[in-house]
Amino acid sequence: MAEEKKSSTSSGPSGIGRALSELLAPVAGFGVTFSNMFRPAVTEQYPFVKHPTAPRYHGRHQLNRYPDGLEKCIGCELCAWACPADAIFVEGGDNTPDGQYSPGERYGRVYQINYLRCIFCGLCIEACPTRALTMGNDFELAGPTREGLIFTKEDLLAPLKEGMLAAPHPMVEGTTDGDYYRGDVTAPTSAQVDWVAEQRPEDPTLEAAGRAAASDTSGPSARKGAK
């Protein structure tokens, strides 16, 4: 008697409803798929089309230069001390009359950033006293080897802009590192160009730097001439 009752229950209206719901369940799932098939595609065609980053995006680091070509880094190691991931290694060196790489007494002789450790927090940028270290928008830092993700000074140093004179060379005559920091130096001077021409006559930046020195109307040399 119990078996007959069970059989009648499973074959009743409720049993048929459950069977239909189970049959139509995959159809409902495909309905979501089909509805999205006709919507505009949102896939980015990377790397052929790259989505622009935010203006203040924390990307690849850069070691900056002053307008005359000298490096801003003074080898103080504050960025390395501020790094919570211990990703930065700096070794300072002394500037000499024949090897002046930055204004003042010292420069960053060795500079490395290990992007296997870097968390892109930006604390190194805040610690830098001369704004030598900044972060750009470049996010393509993947590589085939671990060694390739340890960037050296040559990898991080900003390229020379038109009119800059490649270091080493003397500071602008009569200026201090404070004058550089305040932006008083706006271009190389003819004295700097002459020094490099004597020491490195084949330097490829001489011609453009000479034109920049001749056309500079706001730098220290121009003010001296006006006096």
Query: Does 90 belong to an annotated binding site?
Result: no
For the beta carbon of residue 14, count every other beta carbon within 10 angstroms.
10
Among 68, 87, 85, which residue's Cα sits nearest to residue 177? 68
Contact 190, 210 (CB under 8 A): yes
Annotated ligand binding at 121? The verdict is: yes
**Is 73 labelled as part of a ligand binding site?**
yes
Omega before 188 within 30 of 0, i.e. cis: no
Q: What distance in Å separates the CA atoms of residue 78 and residue 90, rounded to the nearest whole number?
A: 9
83 known member of a binding site: yes
Report whether 128 belongs to an annotated binding site. yes
Query: Tokens for 76?
Result: 């103080």
Is 28 flagged in the annotation as binding?
Answer: no
Residue 189: both structure tokens together: 């001077």
Question: Residues annotated in the binding site, as ranges?
Answer: 73, 76, 79, 83, 118, 121, 124, 128
Question: Residues annotated in the binding site for [4Fe-4S] cluster, as ranges?
Answer: 73, 76, 79, 83, 118, 121, 124, 128
